[in-house]
Amino acid sequence: MHELGITSSIVAIVEEAAKGRRVARVTLEVGALSGVMSEAIAFCFDVVTEGTALEGAKLEICEIEGRARCDSCGAEFATDTLFALCPCGSYRLTRLRGEELNVKSIELMEAA
């Protein structure tokens, strides 16, 4: 359950960027291979944002599926585990996508 800590980091990043303004929406990118569960972040979000500029903000999570390329045969395929097996039999894969853990954008209220 590092998601509570991760969610606190999200709040810190967003509050810094919001510079005192209220936040209406937070959009995250969470990859399937990032080691973080979207559901757990959503679960923590309301509790962690209470009393911050993010209180009441909508949380949007863009889940990004994992994608890997086989180092042996070059095949590309979707995967949501860290130990996918290429149809050619190799475990040596380069992960192309799915490890993202980003605050993509925020929507601020009260234009200056």
Partner 1 sequence: MCGHCGCGSEADTTVLNLETGKKTTMGRDPHEGAQAHGHVHPDGTRHSHPHEHGHDHRDEHDRENLHHGHARADGTSHLQGGHGMLSAEVVALETRILAKNDALAQKNRAWFKGREILALNLVSSPGAGKTSLLERTIRDLSHELRLFVIEGDQATAYDGERIRAAGAPAVQVNTGSGCHLEADMIARGLQELRPSAGSIVMIENVGNLVCPALFDLGEGAKVVILSVAEGDDKPLKYPHMFRAADLMILNKIDLLPQVDFDVSRAIANAAQVNPAITALQLSARTGEGLAGWYAWLRREAAAVGDAVFS
Map the footprint of partner 1 across residues 33-72, applying CB under 8 A: 35-36, 46, 48-53, 55-58
For residue 8, give both structure tokens.
Answer: 């606190």
In the set 73, 74, 80, 104, which binds partner 1 (CB under 8 A)? Answer: 104
Residue 109 found at the interface with partner 1 (CB under 8 A)? yes
For residue 46, give both structure tokens.
Answer: 């309301």
- Provide the terminal-to-terminal Cα distance of the chain, rounded to the nearest Å: 38
For residue 5, give both structure tokens.
Answer: 């800590």
Residues whose CB is less than 8 angstroms from the CB of residue 24 and which lie 6 or more positions away in sequence, other chains included: 57, 58, 107, 108, 109
CB of 69 or CB of 82, closer to partner 1: 82
In the set 39, 83, 87, 89, which binds partner 1 (CB under 8 A)? Answer: 83
Residue 80 found at the interface with partner 1 (CB under 8 A)? no
